[in-house]
Amino acid sequence: MSSERPNIIFITAEQQREDTISACGATWMQTPNLDALAGEGAVFDKAFAPAATCVSSRAAFYTGLYPHNSGIYGFQPSSGSLHWLPRLSEQGYHCVSIGKRHLPPTGFDEYLAEHDNKCSLKIRGEDCDWIKAVHAAGYESPFDLHDTDPDFYDNLAAIVWPLPEELHPDIYMADRALEWLDVWDGRAPLYLHLGFLSPHDLYDPPQRFIDL
């Protein structure tokens, strides 16, 4: 790895506010891993989202363009003329996306999807990598399990994760990222985007996190 082209691991959490992180002043929250990242890195406390919706904001940091320049305001397909991850590609980075992306994998050399370019987890992405793993383990779609829980809607889309913990989408994608890093040969500088769905609803943490 060249010191002028450091490896980059970019982690995104979905719809997470500053007041849910202990290191940012929410001392009643238990966020030891995020606190460690904040303690070892840079914290930008005057950052603003370029758009009100997640898709437009994600497109902005992939393209470097505001929504009114990229034309991406919602879940419509992006223009083929847009250049995704332009600076990284030009500098020879190997670009990998693991987890929630919410946009086509344009510009990435490799990707593993939590749900393939779907606007909502309620739109069944039965062909996505994560759902394939759930089915391979012998379980039905978690979406169907959520729908049949009698308290799901009364609890405002909150439920205890009903499957083995390793199949939770966030844990599954984190494990896949670690496996990928273990076998990466370092032939080029790396850009890895690891995208988590949480804390966006559905709110379905494994029991041990509820018990904290």
Q: What is the pTM of this model?
A: 0.84
Decide if 54 is catalytic: yes
Place of tokens 């891993």: 33
Backbone angles phi, psi at 209, to 5 degrees: -80, -30
62 lies in a domain? no
73 lies in a domain? no
Instruction: Tell me what pLDDT residue 122 has.
Output: 43
Which segments in the chain show pLDDT lower than 50? 1, 117-125
> What are the tens digits of pLDDT across the range 52-86?
888 888 888 888 889 998 888 876 655 566 777 87
State the angle between helix axes of 129-136 and 169-183 in degrees (0 to 180), rounded to the nearest 10: 100
170 lies in a domain? yes
CATH of the domain at 153: 3.40.720.10
CA dist 128 and 131 (Å) reads 6
78 lies in a domain? no
**Catalytic-labelled residue, pool 24, 54, 83, 200:** 54
Instruction: Tell me what pLDDT residue 168 has.
Output: 92
Instruction: Give the gyration radius of the chain's Cα atoms.
Output: 18
65 lies in a domain? no
Instruction: Tell me what pLDDT residue 157 has.
Output: 76
**Catalytic-labelled residue, pool 24, 83, 94, 102:** 102
Domain of 177 in residue numbering reads as 8-48+83-210
68 lies in a domain? no
Q: Which long-range contacts (CB under 8 A, 24 or more apart) does 88-92 make?
A: 88/8, 88/191, 91/5, 91/189, 92/5, 92/188, 92/189
Instruction: Tell me what pLDDT residue 194 has.
Output: 93
Instruction: Tell me what pLDDT residue 7 has.
Output: 93
Place of tokens 């749900």: 115
Instruction: Tell me what pLDDT residue 119 has.
Output: 37
131 lies in a domain? yes
196 lies in a domain? yes
Instruction: Tell me what pLDDT residue 197 has.
Output: 86
Closest CA to 151 of 139, 159, 141: 159
Q: In total, how many domains does the chain have?
A: 1
CA distances to 39, 59, 125 from 143, rounded to whole Å, are 36, 27, 10
Backbone angles phi, psi at 16, to 5 degrees: -100, 120
31 CB-near residues (< 8 Å, 6+ apart)? 20, 21, 22, 23
